[in-house]
Structure 1
Amino acid sequence: MPPSTGLFPASRAGGAVFDPPGYVQATIEELGTPLSTVTFVVVDLETTGGSPNDSAITEIGAVKVRGGEVLGEFQTLVDPGTEVPPYISVLTGITTAMVRAAPRIDAVLPAFLEFARGAVLVAHNAPFDIGFLKAACAANGFAWPPAASVDTAVLARRLLTRDEVPNCKLATLAPFFSTSTQPCHRALADARATVDVLHGLFERLGPLGITSLEELTGLTRQVDPERRRKRHLADDVPHGPGVYVFRGPKDEPLYVGTSNDLRSRVRSYFTSGEQRHRITEMVGLAKRVEALPCAHDLEAAVRELRLIAEHKPRYNRRSRFPERALWLRLTEEPFPRLSIVRRVRPGAGVFLGPFPDRRAADAAAAAVHDALPLRQCTARISARATGNTACALAGMGRCGAPCTGAQTVEEYAPIAEVFRAAVAFDPRELVAPLLRRVDRLAAEERYEDAAVLRDRVAVLLRAVRRRQRLESLARVPELVLARPDGDGGWHLSVVRRGRLVGAGNAPRGTSVRGTLPGLLSTAETPIGPADEPAASVDETELVLRWIEKPGTRLVQVEGTLACPVPGTGPFNGFLARVEASRAERNPFADDRSLSTRARPERVTAGVAPARLGSRA
């Protein structure tokens, strides 16, 4: 018999030819789970706040879909066991009376888990909704199913450009995809809108060749190939605390960061966990990573702060320009006035700050002017000023009109002294009339005016408290601090006039006192006058936070470390209430940006750049 040709020999029986069974190689698309066969459960929650730690679910809405067809819906109100905050009722329309007769979450979860059994969970900003559901399951003894999940917010960032939508919020995507239901902060309506958004995004997957569930989930986790190729930059980075510096083509600092584990943190920049657009761009430019090991976290934080202030890396945002900080200054002249300045000049008056932005500085100045009849004109007035015309504030009783000679230097001085005393040690005389006015406005049901004044007072008090605490530390010639390192040893810090000048460690079995002489002998000696701070406000504040951490010990001190009395202590309760009120006005803690981001190179493969091009 001649040799056969082909893969299989022909079979002969009685002259008949029998073809062998056919073997067909499966395509790549067939190896995954086709999206058309996947059951998705799109879920949305309404809650009493932004964190499952202190909030509860008030409504669950879910829609089950497969192949573009709606298979079922699930909706129920949930009794959170507490009052629904008024601001939540305004946002969602769900009141305490509505949920009072609703089932508790322990009765709702079994039905929802059965509804979602075997399906892929979908949510817009999935960590929020799924986080609440997981926490509820854990609290009530239910096992959370190991189901895959899809975040339509992340998917939208991958597939849409800023030319198409300015951000990826559900309220923005709904009109873009012409959803049949408009989101309105009710669970089922928002879930229905998310279904239409999901289907609209699926239409964008075809040109990318994404047809399976595995490819879909991989799309949201994929890493830019260029970024993946740079993973070798982390090879020589050591473990332990320190500062890392990404350097560019000209060895210029691009980004400065800090971590308690340098190697792990730097490696994370080359994984799918890092999705910030500006950081992706920075990694693309980086040529090497410089690691600066430190003794402990305080030294790392201080070195990071100094490097950012010195080099001003283009991809760092925090503390790049400390010289732009704003201060409230009471001028040094016969009739002092308040002004907002960017520089602190010793002997040029009393300075309060720094303030994070102009709005905060203006709020503090407005609070002072509400309490004290300080002049608000900008002209310099001599001690014998006469003949000028009084301004409108004088007619309103908010200024003594020193420009006209109606108020002498001696009469004006006690007014300015109230502000000086408030900044130095006692703000009670300054703040008391403001708080009485807040109470009066509230009694008159002028709640908005009362809230505005209350917030101004809080800004002023926080600035005074910060200034007094930092000033007390900056006046200490030297102090040595120790914190447990978690392994039986101690982290040591030497601080002089608010500046970290030495850092070291006393490992387990080593005497702290025996380590100190060497540490003190090598510590930096700050320059400048002995009665002035030796560090920036931000650095001194880092040191102060380290001191206030539980477990920190004061080993030795030269001079006195003490805050002025009474200080802002009498107003701690007031500030706590204001902070609680602020948290209620902004209940949702998940503030991640939903703006669109540049997509990795392989996401755009096969797609016309003009249509899906990304803009930085």
Structure 2
Amino acid sequence: MPHYHQETLDALFDDPRAATLFSTTFVVVDLETTGGAPDGGGITEIGAVKVRGGEILGEFGTLVNPEERVPAFITVLTGITEMMLMEAPTLETVLPSFLEFAQGAVWVAHNAPYDTGFLKAACTKHGYTWPKPIVFDTAAIARRAMIADEVPNHKLSTLARHFRSPTQPVHRALEDAKATVDVLHGLFARLGSLKVQTVGEVLEFVKAVSPAQRRKKHLAEGLPDGPGVYMFRGHKDRPLYIGTSSSIATRVRSYFTAAEKRARIDEMLNAAERVEAILCAHSLEAEVRELRLIAAHKPPYNRRSKYPERVVWLKLTSEAYPRLSVVREVQADGAAYLGPFGSRRFAELAAAGLYDALPLRQCTHKLSLRTQTPACALAELGRCPAPCEHRISPDDYEVQAAAPFRTATTGDPGPVVQGLMARIEALAEVERYEDAATIRGRMVAFLRTAIRQQRLAGLSALPEVVAARPSASGGWEIAVVRHGRLAGAGASPPRVHPQPTLDVVLATAETVQPGPGPTPRATPEETERILAWLERPETRLVKTDIGWSSPVHGAARWRPFLARAEAAASVRTDLDG
């Protein structure tokens, strides 16, 4: 059987960084110089060895006339004299031959920036295009791959002795290049045990990658290259961290590169034992699955979306004189609710704004229509209509206080906003700007939530929405949404009518029943992710059971006003900072 030798294996790779070290051609180069700056001159000798797969393919060695004096200490160090260089070719003559010899290869040098700096300056001086090669620095690789106890330093002579190179560096270019070849192969053997096997992996390895990243890099092997969710699992399969990506394989690999610098992720990698991948039909399904898995498992290294149950609502109680109450969930009790709020603090901020705009009582007493209760200080200050002492009738209280709140949750929040603006203007007129800014912050908290609530409620009211958007592969991404929850997802293949896929997704979609509140069957974050996907310009609505609408005079019309108020608050914060 004839021996098959593939001379151009590198050409099989569109990206040379993906090539294995065994299949890559390297040109190991060393220069001797006059010791000056890398300005394109001063090179006295070039030595280079071309290797691939441990086999030497060729050598390049020549003295170079630097066209300048050689310092005495350089002659003592290298043995190269001015007499030796008088008949040598100039750099302008030698350079094109070297560039041709090194063409298409990965360059290697010990303390590579020094050698490549001279060669790059030489190309500039003599009019040659710099080839922008991929460069390995054996000194940098050794600093990352070898522990301090192994070698006292990372000089070429020290490493050559450590790896038992038959050629010892003598400050002559070709001999030093040959020694560097042996050091390179010794380092490659070390990298192989660390599962660093490609050109790109070596480049990443040389960067500041933590020991945990190097040790656990094998966890990224064999993962699918598609949209979905990935889950780092630790001891006893405990979920540690959950994420999502349009390419699981690419995203997980990034955790093991120098670009990942988060301390908590490094800690997580130390504890990780495997990575689980869940392929999804498209990015929306991946995002929703991620949210649900994080909420279910509460992985310790995720910071967001872990506690959707912690959202709160402002409820207008069902009493003769209703009041605001912070509650954890929306019930089917006919009461008016405002929310969801991400925290109790934000809910109380919005409540304070409502108290500024509306004559809502702030006490928590259960008031009787027959028996009076002593009034608090707020009544004496004119901040409460004192329903406890029956100074206001239930009907008037409903009109002035309760009804505007109810309207703001499902319709027009204008009366609340206008009441707050009147207070802001009054405070500004007497130059109480700090107090005015406080009222503005409360107004922003209220209005932002009112807009969010009505937006979520509009989608959640629909029994079914079917939508599709074109995918990058040429097919269609399909989503079935029921009462604000993603009930089904699919992707049709390219150049195939999407109807069969749509039929399957509809037939297998989750049954979702209606419920109270703007997000009855999903977390607010899930419904917002769905809305963002539906509102993309390329998304097409296939069908809806009923019309999708928002109130004509609803909160959405205040969005430009909210943006200006938020911008003003941001400017104020910057000035205070």
TM range, smaller chain: 0.5 to 0.7
Q: Which of 515, 520, 523 is equivalent to 1:536?
A: 523
Does 1:390 pair with 2:363? no
Larger RCO: Structure 1 or Structure 2 (Cα < 8 Å, ≥ 6 residues apart)? 1
AA of the residue aligned to 2:405: F
1:472 maps to what in 2? 458
**What residue in structure 2 maps to residue 284 of structure 1?**
270
Equivalent residue, structure 1, for 2:131: none
Alignment of 1:410 with 2:395, yes or no, is yes
Per the TM alignment, residue 381 of structure 1 is displaced from its structure 2 partner at its CA by: 1.3
* 1:72-105 residue CA offsets vs partner (Å, 9 max, x unmatched): xxxxxxxxxxxxxxxxxxxxxxxxxxxxxxxxxx
Shift in CA distance, 523/239, structure 1 to aligned 2, threshold 3 Å: same
2:487 paired with 1:501: yes
Match of 2:428 among 442, 465, 470: 442
- Written as runs of structure 1 = structure 2, the 5 A alignment for 1:490-569 is 490-527=476-513, 529=515, 533-569=520-556
CA distance in 2, matches of 1:451, 1:229: 53
Compute the TM-score of the two structures, normalised by the length of structure 1. 0.58
Kept after mapping to 2: 8 A contact 1:249/1:285: yes
Does the alignment pair 1:401 with 2:386?
yes
Deviation at 1:327, TM superposition (A): 1.6
Q: Any residues of structure 2 matched to 1:62-211 within 5 Å, and which? A: none
Give me the whole-angstrom Cα distance separating, in 1, the residues matched to 2:389 and 2:205: 73
2-side partners of 1:407 and 1:221: how far apart? 73
* In 2: Cα distance, 1:509 partner to 1:455 partner: 52
1:577 and 2:541 correspond: no
The one-letter amino acid paired with 2:226 is: G
Aligned residues of 1:363 and 1:456 also touching (Cα < 8 A): yes
Q: Which residue of 1 aligns with 2:364?
A: 378
Q: Tell me: CA distance 1:293–1:447, structure 2 relative to 1, closer, same or farther (3 Å).
A: same
User: CA 1:487–1:409 in structure 2 vs 1: closer, same or farther (change >3 Å)?
Assistant: same
CA contact (8 A) 2:232 2:272 kept: yes
- Judged with a 3 Å threshold, the aligned counterparts in structure 2 of structure 1 residues 383 and 512 are, in CA distance, closer, same or farther, namely farther
* Deviant stretches of 4+, over 3 Å: 217-221, 527-532, 582-588
- Matched residues in 1 for 2:352 and 2:569: separation? 20
- 1:587-613 deviation digits (Å, cap 9, x = unpaired): 69xxxxxxxxxxxxxxxxxxxxxxxxx
Does the alignment pair 1:486 with 2:479? no
Root mean square deviation, CA, Å:
2.9
Report the CA distance shift for 1:218/1:494 in structure 2 as closer, same or farther (over 3 A): closer
- From 232, 236, 239, the equivalent of 1:250 is 236
Cα shift readout 1:235-258 (whole Å, capped 9, x = no counterpart): 121111100000111101111100
Rg larger in structure: 2
Bigger mean CA deviation after superposition, 400-409 or 498-507: 400-409
CA distance in 1 between partners of 2:316 and 2:348 (Å): 14
Deviations 1:101-155 (A, max 9, x none): xxxxxxxxxxxxxxxxx99xxxxxxxxxxxxxxxxxxxxxxxxxxxxxxxxxxxx
Alpha-carbon deviation of 1:442? 2.5
Which deviations, in whole Å up to 9, do the C-alpha atoms of 1:450-484 show, x marking residues without a partner?
22211211111110000001011111000101112
What's the offset of the Cα at 1:582? 4.2
Shift of 1:433: 1.6
Aligned to 1:452: 438
Task: Report 1:14-93 matches (<5 A).
Answer: none
SS of 2:287 mapped into structure 1 = helix
Q: Distance in 2 between matches of 1:271 and 1:280?
A: 11
Partner of 1:222: 208
Cα pair 2:437 2:569 within 8 Å, conserved: no
Q: Name the SS of the counterpart of 1:471 in structure 2.
A: helix
Could you say which residue in structure 2 is the equivalent of 1:333? 319
Q: 1:435 to 1:530 in 2, by over 3 A?
A: closer
Distance in 2 (alpha carbons) for counterparts of 1:486 and 1:586: 42
Alignment coverage as a number of residue pairs? 379
Distance 1:567 1:218 in 2: 53
- For 1:562 and 1:350, the matched residues in 2 are separated by 20
Structure 2 CA distance for partners of 1:274 and 1:390, relative to 1, 3 Å: same
Question: Contact 2:339–2:453 (CA<8 Å) still a contact in 1?
Answer: yes
Deviation at 1:502, TM superposition (A): 0.6
3-state SS in 2 of match to 1:534 = coil
Structure 2 spans left out of the alignment, 5+ residues: 1-29, 32-36, 39-112, 115-202
Given the alignment, which residue of 206, 210, 231 partners 2:217? 231
Sequence identity (%): 50
Shift of 1:348: 6.3
Corresponding letter in the other structure for 2:546:
G
Q: Distance in 2 between matches of 1:311 and 1:296?
A: 22
Q: Distance in 2 between matches of 1:534 and 1:554?
A: 21
For 2:560 and 2:238, how far apart are their aligned partners in 1? 48
| Residues 446 and 528 of structure 1: CA distance in aligned 2, closer, same or farther (over 3 Å) | closer
Query: Aligned to 2:236, what secondary structure does the other structure show?
Result: coil
The one-letter code of the counterpart of 2:267 is E
SS at match of 1:250: helix
- Measure the CA separation in 2 of the matches of 1:325 and 1:241: 29
